[in-house]
Structure 1
């Protein structure tokens, strides 16, 4: 584990969803969606702190570790889409999660999953233990690729506890099965970027 010791890690949770087909023809390859969550102590729970940089400064280590675990969950398939987010326990603030998943975190996540040019979709909220959260997904090199607009829903049965943060990354091996509502395609982006 390569997470900075500033973060007191209690647990990791991993989620994998494999879709073989929806209505209509089966895709050539199953769609694999996955998410990895790390549960850490919230050092600012229950108190107002103006400067949240202690959460942000070492956050590249979170992005690297979670990104590496995400890649492993996809079982050798390339990460085509990604997203990030998290939950703050009820003694914390949404801002505590956001401080952990800024550009410092995002750049490390991109490196860990094999690159990405698009901004990373995110969701965060304050929640009780066991709450669900939808982590949005979008194509990693261009946010306007409509076929890859998706999400993965996760919940941790034991987190976040009131004084904890849950930091989450998610990814998928492709777009939605049978996506057919038009718009920019992955092929369009590849052709554009080669010129």
Structure 2
């Protein structure tokens, strides 16, 4: 709970949100193992809403705590299953700017997220924008150890009906237990990357 305390100390939190989905098929044969995808987010006050500020370090410096806590919550939503892919993103309310979200999910955040979900060698796909409350965000997913694993290109859509308000930020992560249920368009497989990593 140290990360949660650090988040509360550094950001004005209004809400935590989370969702999980389980897919057994996509109009094809039933999968041997269902695909679980989860997303979670935190709604925080944007200290820079309404004006331009050059230095955004007040958002970036403490963001490791955000990555750790959101990662912990995302893993919990998967019920202990292995995280194979991940992504990150967020929405700035209309009195803020996209760069305010980006400041929250830089390498400082990303490294903490990797550790929280059990590691990852690949860079973390992201999507950010400025929008009104209730706007959906498609958080991109990719295999956590090799970005070129085509089977794991996917997304999770997160919508929070009352966030972000104009002076808020919605910061999100997404995780999944595998690739698309009926992936069949070839390319490098997750298993191949793991064999290569051992040799």
TM-score, normalization: structure 1? 0.98
Q: Which is richer in helix?
A: 2
Alignment partner of 1:2 is 2:25: no
Map 1:16-165 to 2 at 5 A: 16-165=20-169
RMSD: 0.7
Q: 2:42 & 2:19 partners in 1: Cα distance?
A: 12
Residue of structure 2 in register with 1:12 after alignment? 16
* 1:97-144 C-alpha deviation (Å, 9 max, x unpaired): 000000000000000000000000000000001001100000000000
Q: Distance in 2 between matches of 1:22 and 1:102?
A: 34
Q: Structure 1 unaligned runs (5+)?
A: none
Length-normalised TM-score, structure 2: 0.96
Q: Is the 8 A contact 1:84 1:122 kept in 2?
A: yes
How much does 1:11 deviate? Answer: 0.2
Distance 1:74 1:109 in 2: 15
Q: Give the Cα–Cα distance (whole angstroms) in 1 for the partners of residues 30 and 5 of structure 2.
A: 39
1:167-193 CA-partner distances (Å, limit 9, x unpaired): 000010110011110000011101110
Unaligned runs of 5+ in 2: none
> How far 1:94 moved relative to its partner?
0.1
Relative distance call for 1:2 and 1:111 in structure 2 (3 A) is farther
Helix, strand or coil for the counterpart of 1:2?
A: helix
Following TM superposition, where does structure 1 have runs of at least 4 consecutive aligned residues deviating by more than 2 angstroms? 1-4
